[in-house]
Structure 1
Amino acid sequence: MSPTVGFSVTHRRYVPYAHAHYGGNLVDGAYGLALFGDVATDLSIHTDGDESLLAGYSTVEFLAPIQAGDVVEVTATLTRVGNRSRDVAFEARVLCRAAPERGPSAADVLDPPLVATRASATVVVPAPA
């Protein structure tokens, strides 16, 4: 498949309690960025047949917390295609959140989902061999 602007890939993941670093079961912002790296790799494999390298972020916005017990969905969308570089927009949304006040395993579906993190980055694919 050749790279096409607008192509996107989405991953979902449960955030385990072992990843909580701060009070209130918060995870660090780097957790979301690691998920962005994973979904960018998946996107690059689909569009270029290569895992690519993430060259850098141009913007990162932490809009809401990600917590242990959340179900998070991350999406990478191709926004620009160059010769070897690709610009990618990312969004992390919290779909479900633990509700410990109702019981140790209680959780709620968030409707609408909570947008936690947005970012823009550039990935680079190797030159053809």
Structure 2
Amino acid sequence: MSPEPGTSVTHRRYVPHSHAHYGGNLVDGAYGLGMFGDVATELCVRTDGDEGLFAGYTSVEFLAPLQAGDVVEATATLVRVGTRSRGMEFEARVVCRAAPERGPSAADVCDPPVVITRAAGTVVVPPRP
């Protein structure tokens, strides 16, 4: 596959309670950034046949909290294709959230999902042979 702007990759995962670092079962923002690295890696593999190397973020916005017990999804979308650099935009959304007030294992689907983090960044891939 060649690198085409608009190509995207999404991952979902459950946020275990072992990742809560703060009161109220809050999880640090680095959790979402780690997911952005994972979706960027898969996007590079799909478009360039290489994992690539994350060069840096140009912006990061933390918009809402991430909590233990959430199901979160992260999406990377290719927005710019250079000779070796790839511009990507990222968004993390909570799609399910624990509802402990109803019981220890109760949860709700978030409709619409709650956008918790947005970012933009650049990855670098090796030159094409």
Q: What interval of TM-score do these two structures reach, taking the shorter chain for normalisation?
A: over 0.9
Supply the distance in 2 between the matched residues of 1:127 and 1:110 (Cα, whole angstroms).
Answer: 42
Supply the distance in 2 between the matched residues of 1:39 and 1:101 (Cα, whole angstroms).
Answer: 33
Identity %: 76
Partner of 1:114: 114
User: Where do residues 59-78 of structure 1 align in structure 2 (5 Å cutoff)?
Assistant: 59-78=59-78
Q: Which amino acid aligns with 2:89?
A: A
- Deviation of 1:127 (Å): 2.3
Which digits, 9 at most, give the CA deviation of each residue in 1:4-27, with x for residues without a partner?
000000000000000000001011
Aligned residues: 129
Partner of 2:4: 4
Q: In the alignment, does 2:8 pair up with 1:13?
A: no
TM-score, length-scaled by structure 2: 0.98
Supply the distance in 1 between the matched residues of 2:68 and 2:74 (Cα, whole angstroms).
Answer: 16
Could you tell me which runs of 5 or more consecutive residues in structure 1 were left unpaired when the two chains were aligned: none
Q: Which amino acid aligns with 2:78?
A: L
Misfit runs of 4+, over 4 Å:
none
Supply the distance in 2 between the matched residues of 1:127 and 1:9 (Cα, whole angstroms).
Answer: 22
RMSD between superposed Cα atoms in Å: 0.7
Supply the distance in 2 between the matched residues of 1:127 and 1:45 (Cα, whole angstroms).
Answer: 14
Could you tell me which runs of 5 or more consecutive residues in structure 2 were left unpaired when the two chains were aligned: none
Partner of 2:53: 53
Q: Which amino acid aligns with 1:40?
A: A
TM-score, length-scaled by structure 1: 0.98
Supply the distance in 2 between the matched residues of 1:39 and 1:26 (Cα, whole angstroms).
Answer: 23
Supply the distance in 1 between the matched residues of 2:107 and 2:128 (Cα, whole angstroms).
Answer: 48
For 1:41, what is the secondary structure of its paired residue? helix
Which digits, 9 at most, give the CA deviation of each residue in 1:93-115, with x for residues without a partner?
00000000000000000111000
Q: Which amino acid aligns with 1:11?
A: H
- Deviation of 1:128 (Å): 3.5
Partner of 2:103: 103
User: Where do residues 19-34 of structure 1 align in structure 2 (5 Å cutoff)?
Assistant: 19-34=19-34
Supply the distance in 1 between the matched residues of 2:65 and 2:48 (Cα, whole angstroms).
Answer: 33
Q: Which amino acid aligns with 1:126?
A: P
